[in-house]
Amino acid sequence: MKNYQVVWRGPVLDATGYGTASREYALALDRQGIDVKIETYTWNFPYHMQDEKKKKRLQQLIEKPITNQKQKILIYHSPPAVISKKEKADFDFCILNTVWETNRIPDTWLPILSTYDAVSVPCTHNVDALKISGVRIPIFLVPHGADTKMFNPDNHRIMLNEKTKFVFVSIFDFQHRKNPESLLRAYWEEFTVHDRVLLLIKTYGSSRKKIRKAIMDYKRKLGFSDTAPIYLMTGICSEAELKGMYTAANAFVLPTRGEGVGLPFIEALSSGIPVIATGWGGQMDFLSTHNSFLIDYELMNPSISMNSDHAISTIYREFEKNGQLWAEADLDHMKKQMRYAYENPALCRLKGRQGRKDMQQMTWDRAGISLKQMVEKIIGS
């Protein structure tokens, strides 16, 4: 059944998690022999792609015309976006591909979702959240893939000035959901200048000046002076730098409060390094004690931490609404897991090798097959 065209609408040229997933989903559908036309939008985080073949194919799909000779399927890869009745009339079916991070979706999503014919999400955590929230349209699970060719243990590592025994890396958007304050506090409390350790932070979402000030103000507030070093990188980086951050590290760490997927976890495991992460959220579809050091947590209303004196990053208030819950990582257990990883580099290598094996089974082609099956089931129904 191929007498249809999929119009993929997503930020395929952006250097964000959504951007990465969007271009990989679209290309995976294309490799399945599906007639794909890309309509792109942007959040103004331009991605400088090194893979010329992939770049060329994306451009071809963007320039491809919409056909009137086939059924037209819109897959809108976005946070819930309203489509007008007039626009919807241009398509035979409209599917929303989206993601959320807490235990249930905001109430404002329900009327928007009801205008679509189906919704697809990347994790069982999201499937449960949609069902609990009363979503009535068909729900499909379409997991992310892992690019184990791009992210691999042989990538050239970035050069760091400090000569250290152990490097933690953390890559995230500087927002409250990612829990940067617990990351910093755990590191400062657990490690000192006498430990041969470094925390490499790559973040974005605000200016370097504002992020550095927030971190330094928090450090002073907690009463720390001489601490183990932090290497801070902000803004957009090249593919080579991103890949080299993972291979320069011994472990990836992020005490996130909630994830739909957690793409950096996938990239870290693909690169052969283990993950230290909160044991709740979309990442639990692929994290395990065999490839990670999982942090204990307690489910709480987001407003508790948002209104805490410890909050240091961008806050999005929609997480507070309609009784949502997310995970607060146990600070003491996080410190123990970081110390345990630091003292057991051989175990880190073992978990990293297992993580890479796990990611080699989690391909984007598998995602493309799931998308194709979803589309043809909707058409057939």
Nearest alpha carbon to residue 208 among 174, 258, 245, 167 = 174
Work out whether strand 297-300 and strand 326-329 pair parallel, antiparallel, or are unpaired: antiparallel
CATH architecture of 4-145+363-380: 3-Layer(aba) Sandwich (3.40)
Average pLDDT value for residue range 145-170: 92
The SS3 of residue 154 is: coil
Cα–Cα distance for residue pair 284/286, rounded to 1 Å? 5
Cα–Cα distance for residue pair 259/126, rounded to 1 Å? 9
Confidence of residue 111 (pLDDT cuts 50, 70, 90): very high
With 90 as the cut, is the pLDDT of residue 367 above it?
A: yes
Average pLDDT in the chain: 95
Average pLDDT value for residue range 273-292: 98
Residue, of 48 and 150, whose pLDDT is higher: 150
pTM: 0.94
Domain definitions of the chain by residue range: 4-145+363-380, 166-361
Average pLDDT value for residue range 293-301: 98
166-361 and 4-145+363-380 share a CATH fold:
yes
Tens digit of pLDDT for each residue in 193-207? 999 999 999 998 878
**Residue 163 has what pLDDT?**
74
Which neighbouring-strand residues pair with 276?
Answer: 253, 293
The residue with tokens 């890559």 is: 171
**Residue 162 has what pLDDT?**
66
With 70 as the cut, is the pLDDT of residue 1 above it?
A: no
Tens digit of pLDDT for each residue in 170-196? 999 999 999 999 999 999 999 999 999
Tens digit of pLDDT for each residue in 24-50? 999 999 999 999 999 999 988 888 888
Cα–Cα distance for residue pair 150/155, rounded to 1 Å? 8
Superfamily of domain 166-361: Glycogen Phosphorylase B; (3.40.50.2000)
- Report the share of the chain in percent with pLDDT over 70: 99
**Residue 315 has what pLDDT?**
93
DSSP string, 217-266: HHHHHHT--S---EEEEES---HHHHHHHHHT-SEEEE--S--SS-HHHH
Confidence of residue 118 (pLDDT cuts 50, 70, 90): very high
Average pLDDT value for residue range 126-147: 97
Q: Among 205-209, 266-270, 287-291, 347-351, which stretch is predicted with the lowest mean pLDDT?
A: 205-209
DSSP conformation class of 90: T
**Residue 321 has what pLDDT?**
78
With 80 as the cut, is the pLDDT of residue 12 above it?
A: yes
**Residue 237 has what pLDDT?**
85
